[in-house]
């Protein structure tokens, strides 16, 4: 009984220091492992490149917190899922709508003029009279070629 009391009251302070240091190291190790796991998952979600994934993990293992900071700066802004949704969105937009060549406003397919700036974005096809974007050289509905060469000729004739 006295021995136990002695042990609790007359402890060696250097021992306590060692114990707490070990505790801190154990804690830091767990935090580091958690960070490495998080970075590994994040890197896989953001890049298909194995080199980038390995580099990110090594960066955090060797530099720890500064490495995490560097990783957060250099990692791709968007995850692969974000990128997939974005390209899907862009594809849908490209198929259904077009932007005004002057002010970049989205124009529904049946608009000839931009409602914002008044720019003529589409012209009726000479053959089938459907609205065809000015940037297209062939009517997508009937295949008629647009006479863009004539314009150049008239301009050069004037000059
Ligand atoms: Zn416009
Ligand atoms: Zn046509």
Digit-coded pLDDT (tens) for 18-56: 888 888 989 988 998 999 999 999 999 999 899 999 999
* 120 CA distance to ligand 2 middle (Å): 17
What percentage of residues in the chain have a pLDDT greater than 70? 81
Tokens at 27, concatenated: 């804690």
40 and 107 both lie in a single domain: no
120 and 135 both lie in a single domain: yes
Half-sphere exposure of 101 (CA within 13 A, CB side): 10
Tell me what the mean pLDDT of segment 125-147 comes to: 87
From CA 26, how far away is CA 37, in angstroms rounded?
17
What percentage of residues in the chain have a pLDDT greater than 90? 31
69 and 97 both lie in a single domain: no
54 and 29 both lie in a single domain: yes
89 and 38 both lie in a single domain: no
pLDDT score for 159: 46
Least confident residue range of 45-49, 77-81, 87-91: 87-91
* 96 CA distance to ligand 2 middle (Å): 18
19 and 67 both lie in a single domain: yes
Q: Averaging pLDDT over each range in 2-16, 83-97, 112-126, which range is the top one? A: 112-126
50 and 104 both lie in a single domain: no
Tally the domains of the chain: 2
CB 57 within 8 A of CB 43: yes
150 and 115 both lie in a single domain: yes
From CA 122, how far away is CA 111, in angstroms rounded?
7
Ligand nearest to the CA of 144: 2
14 and 61 both lie in a single domain: yes
50 and 92 both lie in a single domain: no
Tell me what the mean pLDDT of segment 66-95 comes to: 85
8 and 71 both lie in a single domain: yes
* 25 CA distance to ligand 2 middle (Å): 74
- What is the rounded average pLDDT for all residues in the chain? 83
Torsion, Cα of 38, 40, 43, 44 (10° steps): -120
Q: Which of 53, 77, 101 is the last residue of a domain?
A: 77
* 131 CA distance to ligand 2 middle (Å): 8
Per-residue pLDDT at 116 exceeds 70? yes
* 115 CA distance to ligand 1 middle (Å): 7
Q: Which of 31, 54, 77 is the last residue of a domain?
A: 77
Q: Which of 56, 77, 98 is the last residue of a domain?
A: 77
Least confident residue range of 14-18, 136-140, 147-151: 147-151
13 and 69 both lie in a single domain: yes
* 147 CA distance to ligand 2 middle (Å): 12
Domain that holds residue 122: 82-158
From CA 82, how far away is CA 47, in angstroms rounded?
11
């Amino acid at each position: 009984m006295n021995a136990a009391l002695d042990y609790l009251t007359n402890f060696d302070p250097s021992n306590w220091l060692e114990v707490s240091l070990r505790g801190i190291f154990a804690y830091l190790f767990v935090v580091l492992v958690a960070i490495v796991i998080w970075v590994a998952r994040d890197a896989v979600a953001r890049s298909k490149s194995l080199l980038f994934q390995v580099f990110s993990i090594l960066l955090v293992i060797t530099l720890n917190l500064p490495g995490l900071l560097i990783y957060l700066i250099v990692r791709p802004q968007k995850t692969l899922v974000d990128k997939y949704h974005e390209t899907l969105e862009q594809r849908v937009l490209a198929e259904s709508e077009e932007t005004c060549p002057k002010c970049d406003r989205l124009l529904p397919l049946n608009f000839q003029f931009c409602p914002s700036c008044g720019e003529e974005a589409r012209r009726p096809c000479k053959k089938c009279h459907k609205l065809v974007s000015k940037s297209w050289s062939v009517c997508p509905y009937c295949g008629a070629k647009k006479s863009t060469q004539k314009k150049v000729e008239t301009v050069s004739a004037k000059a």
